[in-house]
Structures are given as structure tokens and as C-alpha cells.
Structure 1
């Protein structure tokens, strides 16, 4: 279990730093299928790991001037409230239904991400109403299926806030950390958490995100977007098949 925590922890940290999300898409199945924790415990542990590493990654992107704090405040505040509510609702859902919802949301996100047009204008005006509505939607889903929501937040910021890909990634990392914090509070008093495994995951995920946020400076925004979409689609298919078979 120590070896798995080191290897998968690094991967879980590496992905959000490079693509603005995806850590939970990996960590939830790993905690469930590889480390054999219960679904709801796995969800809470994933939120702790991804939330911590996303905050660190957000600071790294801040230094690259890729954070839009107005959007973080508006989108993040609404999403936090919705995430906590979604986490409370999730306790009435079966484990199988949560995993099916998890996979379906990743498939929709990958489609919209792959088909959206790239933008490079850092000063386009975002819609306050769209940010509030999308924040509530993403937050609720994040709480229901136990993810930070980066795979939904990034395409939302590209489509509705008109952010360039790297700005969307950086901004999303701060929002993810807020979502995860709210989600943890919605789960933590109702599940058992293996804190030794969680902290070890977090340590190596932090190393992973430091490396990936350095590499992102040398990768094109368009390449990131397409890679992100393909990765999310593939994971959505795998998770859906494992949850229904």
C-alpha cells in the first residue's frame, strides 16, 4: 500500500498541475479498486488529496500570472455552497449510482472540451449570470460524485468565461481547492478516513504538481486542451464500464 500511495500519489498530483483537473478521476478509482476502500471513504480521501495539491498548484500558476481572482471568488463561492449541498445529498445515493454519475459527467465534459474553440484573449468579458449558474451546477455535481470538478470547471471557464486554456487551468485549481474543502466537510463526519494513506498520497501528489506546473510553460494551450479531452473521455468510459458490469 505504501508503494501504491507513492506512485499513484505522484500521478494524481501531476495531472491537475498539467491539465487543471483529472486528479479525482484517477484517485477515486484507485482508492476503491486498488486500495479497496469503500466508495464514500474513497471520495472523501480523494477530496483531501486533490484539494491540497490543487491549492499548491494554484499558487504556482499565480506566479505565472494565470489566475483570474474575480472568477475564483464568484464561481468558487457559489460552487463551494453547492458542493456542500451535493455532498449531503450523496449520502442518500447508492455507491453504484454515484459511480455511474461520475462517469457520465466525465464523458460530457470531454465532449464539450474537445469541441470548444480556443481563445487567447485574456480580457474578454465574462457573464456574471453564467458564472453563477455554472458554479452551482459544477459544485452540485462535485459534491454528488466526490471530485474537485476540474474536468468540468476548465471547459466551463473556457466556454463561458472565455479564458485561454492556461488561465482556465490556473483559475480552476483555486476553485478546485475551495470545492474540495466544502466536500470534505460534507463527508468527513460520516465516513472513516485512513489518514496515513491520505497524507502519503498528498505528499507525493505535491511533488507531482510541482513538476507538472513547471512543465506547463513549455506546452501549447491547444495541445493541453485536446490531451485533456481525450484523457477525460477514456477515463469516463473505463469508470462507466466498471460501475455497470
Structure 2
């Protein structure tokens, strides 16, 4: 199968995840870029940031039309992660490839566990604590910068558990957080973006953008809890595969 076709298929899956769940696209994009398309871990994380940024903007517009984006909350949450995202992006190229892959696998496993538990958190009421919100935003920014992930798969549980947003509002707001964090991380990788294989990254982005709109429509037909459980199980499998690959 040609690289372009693989990029189109992978891009569609990434877009569906971002559109339906408000996150998870980068956690699928990085493994796809590494194992299906032959990118290096550093190249994959940079390409993932480009893909996720453009796709998140598309999904953000779709959710904003339905009034499911809390602009003030999302901006404050994302602002705390800008500097950590830039610092993490600058450090990423100095981290050994195996360590980067292992760290990504661990974060993916944690994200899957959070997704499996998120239904119980969504049903409760949580008092917003600015200190915890800032700490969560800063931590998310650091993860975004180092691992080249948008952070939505961690932002949604954080927005629900720390700031008390309802699940659908958390999904929409996380896309704003993803966009801000990804742009900040990309700012420190500007010199590596032009070295990407755009013949592959371009079709990947196009399919992801279209998939994001389909994911938004899918989210209105299937319960968010069901979508999250399916995605979490896939994510656990990806995490296990990457962790084994890193230590072998």
C-alpha cells in the first residue's frame, strides 16, 4: 500500500477522534507516522503538531457553532501551558528516540485510563480551583511540547475533573486548548517543519480535516461515553505496542 493511501486512512482516523472526542488525534497520529509512514520520533512529533493544529481549528469551528466552547475557561487553561509547551518543544530534540517513544506510550496508557473513568467524573460537580487549573494547564503544555501531542486526550478529563465542565463542553473547549498549546510548541520547532515530507503530511492533513467534520456529526449520534470506551481500548493497545518497541 502506498504512503499516500496510508496517510489518507490514518488522517481520517485522527480527524474522527478529534472531532468526536475533542482529543486523541495526536496519540494516534504519532504511532501512525512512525510505524506506517517511516518518520523518526522527532519528525513524527513535529508533523503531528502541524496535523493536529490544523485539524483542531476545523473541529473547534464545528463545536463552536453548537455553543459547546467555553472560550474564557479554555483561554485561561491554555495560557498556563504556553511557556511549558515552548520549553518542552525546545527540549524534545535532545531526548533519545527510545525514551521519547517510551514516554509517549506511558502518557497514552494514562490517557486511556482517564477516559475509562471519565463518565463518573462527568456526573459530579467540581469546585473550580484556579491553582489546580493553572497546574493542570502547565502540565498539559509540557506534555504537548515534549511529546508533540495536542493534549486533548488529557485536557478533556482535566476540564471535567478540575474545572467541572460538562462532557460536551469539555470536548469543545479542549479543542481551543489543543490549538493554543500546539501553536506554542510548533513555535520552537519552526526550523524542522520545512524538512517534513509534505507529499505525505499534506494528504494526512486533508483527510484529518474532513474526518473532523464527520467526527463532530458522529458525536451527536453515539454517546460520548461509548466513543470514549472504544477509543480508550484502542489507545491501550497502541501504548502497549509502543512500550514493547521502546524496550526491545
TM interval, shorter chain, is: over 0.9
Q: Any idea what SS the aligned residue of 1:189 has?
A: helix
User: Are positions 1:12 and 2:29 aligned together?
Assistant: no
Partner Cα separation in structure 1 for residue 128 and residue 68 of structure 2? 16
User: Are positions 1:238 and 2:241 aligned together?
Assistant: yes
Contact 1:165 / 1:225 at 8 angstroms: preserved in 2?
A: no
Partner Cα separation in structure 1 for residue 217 and residue 49 of structure 2? 23
The 1:219–1:118 alpha-carbon spacing in structure 2 relative to 1, beyond 3 Å, is farther
Partner Cα separation in structure 2 for residue 128 and residue 204 of structure 1? 38
Match of 1:186 in 2: 188
Contact 2:68 / 2:169 at 8 angstroms: preserved in 1?
A: yes
Q: Any idea what SS the aligned residue of 1:44 has?
A: helix
Spell out the pairing of 1:131-150 with structure 2 (5 A cutoff). Answer: 131-150=133-152
Structure 1 gap ranges (5+): none
Q: Any idea what SS the aligned residue of 1:147 has?
A: coil
Offset, 1:195: 2.2
- TM-score, normalised relative to structure 2: 0.91
Offset, 1:24: 1.1
Partner Cα separation in structure 2 for residue 221 and residue 25 of structure 1? 18
Partner Cα separation in structure 1 for residue 231 and residue 8 of structure 2? 23
Partner Cα separation in structure 1 for residue 241 and residue 166 of structure 2? 29
User: Are positions 1:41 and 2:43 aligned together?
Assistant: yes
The 1:230–1:162 alpha-carbon spacing in structure 2 relative to 1, beyond 3 Å, is farther
User: Are positions 1:104 and 2:126 aligned together?
Assistant: no
Offset, 1:166: 1.5
CA RMSD in angstroms comes to 1.8
Match of 1:223 in 2: 226
Match of 1:74 in 2: 76
Contact 2:160 / 2:170 at 8 angstroms: preserved in 1?
A: yes
Partner Cα separation in structure 1 for residue 227 and residue 4 of structure 2? 31
Alignment counterpart, residue 21 of structure 1, candidates 16, 20, 23? 23
The C-alpha deviation readout for 1:79-126, integer Å capped at 9, x for no partner, is: 2221111111212210111111111111122223323414358x9652
Alignment counterpart, residue 202 of structure 2, candidates 195, 199, 203? 199
Offset, 1:143: 0.9
Contact 1:56 / 1:206 at 8 angstroms: preserved in 2?
A: yes
Partner Cα separation in structure 1 for residue 79 and residue 202 of structure 2? 26
The runs of at least 4 aligned residues of structure 1 exceeding 6 Å deviation read: none
Partner Cα separation in structure 2 for residue 15 and residue 66 of structure 1? 17
The 1:58–1:125 alpha-carbon spacing in structure 2 relative to 1, beyond 3 Å, is farther
Offset, 1:225: 3.7
Partner Cα separation in structure 1 for residue 72 and residue 129 of structure 2? 12
